[in-house]
Structure 1
Amino acid sequence: MGYRRTPEEIAAVQATLADVEFVGGESLSVDFLTRPDTVRALLPAELDPGASPRLTVQVSRWRSSCVGDFAASAVYVSASHRGVPGDYVLCMFMDSDVPTLFGRELYGEPKKIGTSTLWRNDGHMTGRLERHGARLVELEADLGEDRGPVEVVGRNYNVKYELRPDGTLAGAPTLMRAEFAQRTTVVRRGPARLRLQGTVHDPLHELEVLDLRDAVYVETGMKATCAPVESMDPDAFLPLALGRCDYWPALGTARLPA
């Protein structure tokens, strides 16, 4: 009975989650610098700003060992936790419910549904993110020669929490640290053009770009692990928790008669 997993099925699920891989990845990303006070406002109190006020915009597509094939976009904020550098995931968009639920429920990633696309014409690449008819990200790059291969470890900070039906937090959130052991076969860089737009639900237009860096295109695969690192102050995190959600007051369509 699929709604009550057998011991064998439970063992298979847990084995899959113990060996998570994302493979065949193609990613186009760009870093930019913004104001230090903007970075501080975007980060939970338990995280320190990174060495520079850097944000990263990424559009990508993947295959996987656990959630099928998917396309994704994300915005990251440079951060550190007790001296361990990484990136805080500000927002993330998947093109289907399976990777959305996986990342949100297990890793605490702030995922929503959105349409991400990558196009490549020789050395010219375009990445786009659209959600509810709004084009939130448009990233273009003219790429140079391949500089790969390289192996690196990426590190993301996310937050797991539960909202009560009245919009308050049920207990203390948990800061999570995900690590990605990446084996990258292709690395290409080049000048970038970035356009960020936003809505009341996804205010990417509020992210001020002061210094745009070169774009980076990679072909890569990675193993993922994730673990809790710290309990958090629920009162301090509540504004960020509600900022991860769509702005529900703007979504009303009807009321009962008075």
Structure 2
Amino acid sequence: MSKLRYIQGPVETRASGMLRNTVYGIRATYETDPDIIAALLPQPLVAIERPEIWLQMVHVAMHVTETDTVEIGALTMGVNCTHEGAPGAYCFHMAMEGETVVTSGRERFGEPKKIAETHFERNGDHLRATCSRHGVTYFEIEGTIGEPIDQPLKFEEHLFCYKGMPSIDQPGQFDGDVFLTRLNWERNYDARRAMTGTITLRDSAFDPLADIPVRRIVDMQYVEGGTATGGTLLRKVPGEWIAPHWVGRQDDPRNVGVDVGKRKAA
């Protein structure tokens, strides 16, 4: 008897729709320029008062089944915003190790994932983490871990993504419906400690995070513990709302971007 592995065979299933993970790493929020936020945030999401970028750079052990665990490093970045009054962040960049976790997240949830190389280095209470693609270390975060944060360690947060299928013959359009999705991330951290440090964004034609400069770090913290991740399909949206932003999912060094207003003097 022969086998055909292009058809799904028996699999060990998870107990629920949420994926359980164990993580450690750095979470941070920084302020950038308001005009950049205005250009970066697609409809129907609404910017909050402060022009904030949320990010996390973490090592993740994904417990796919009771016997199968996949370990990766992952960088996630988003614009703090609201949808119909509910807080969250528009996820415009995700980079992590492993083709399977990248393609599954893009196709299932609409996450803008890319394959990357990540590195974590800890010396006592000093932690440094980097993300690299195409030979460029375009993201680096490092700092000194400080005192424990005396706040609830269990909470839920949301990221907004867009799920669609680019048109086969009409560039800038989509075949079929485009959806706004919401990632539902449950956090249950065993430890959360304040950090002081720096965020460095180096120029890359493939991942131009340097176009979203760090003006002021609002918050930085070290976290470790358990998480559970899943998602929700929120609504259909017009394809033109997200079409100009779709280039961020691709490696297109020819893209020159758009002009935004100059930062006003403080």
Determine if the TM-score, normalized by the shorter chain, exceeds 0.5.
Answer: yes
TM-score, normalization: structure 2? Answer: 0.85
For residues 111 and 38 of structure 1, the distance between their equivalents in structure 2, rounded to whole angstroms, comes to 21
Shift of 1:3: 2.3
Q: Is the 8 A contact 1:171 1:234 kept in 2?
A: no
Q: Is the 8 A contact 2:109 2:181 kept in 1?
A: yes
Which residue of the partner structure matches residue 192 of structure 2?
Answer: 187
Which residue of the partner structure matches residue 96 of structure 2?
Answer: 94
Structure holding more helix per residue = 1
SS in 2 for 1:191: strand
CA shift digits 1:113-163 (9 cap, x unpaired): 111111111111111111111111111111112336611111111111111
Shift of 1:93: 0.5
Distance 1:42 1:104, change over 3 A: same
TM-score, normalization: structure 1? Answer: 0.88
Which residue of the partner structure matches residue 69 of structure 1?
Answer: 71
Trace 1:1-258 onto structure 2 (pairs within 5 A).
1-6=4-9, 9=11, 12-13=12-13, 15=14, 18-23=17-22, 25-66=23-64, 68-147=70-149, 150-166=153-169, 167=171, 168-247=173-252, 249=254
For residues 207 and 146 of structure 1, the distance between their equivalents in structure 2, rounded to whole angstroms, comes to 30
SS in 2 for 1:37: helix
SS in 2 for 1:3: coil
SS in 2 for 1:69: strand
Q: Is the 8 A contact 1:30 1:192 kept in 2?
A: no
Shift of 1:171: 3.0
Shift of 1:243: 2.9
Q: Is the 8 A contact 2:93 2:248 kept in 1?
A: no
Q: Which moved more, 1:131-140 or 1:207-216?
A: 207-216
SS in 2 for 1:39: helix
SS in 1 for 2:148: coil
For residues 41 and 163 of structure 1, the distance between their equivalents in structure 2, rounded to whole angstroms, comes to 21
Q: Is the 8 A contact 1:26 1:62 kept in 2?
A: yes
Superposition RMSD in Å: 2.0
Structure 2 gap ranges (5+): 256-266
Distance 1:85 1:33, change over 3 A: same
Structure 1 gap ranges (5+): 251-258
For residues 8 and 84 of structure 2, the distance between their equivalents in structure 1, rounded to whole angstroms, comes to 40
SS in 2 for 1:165: coil
For residues 152 and 189 of structure 1, the distance between their equivalents in structure 2, rounded to whole angstroms, comes to 17
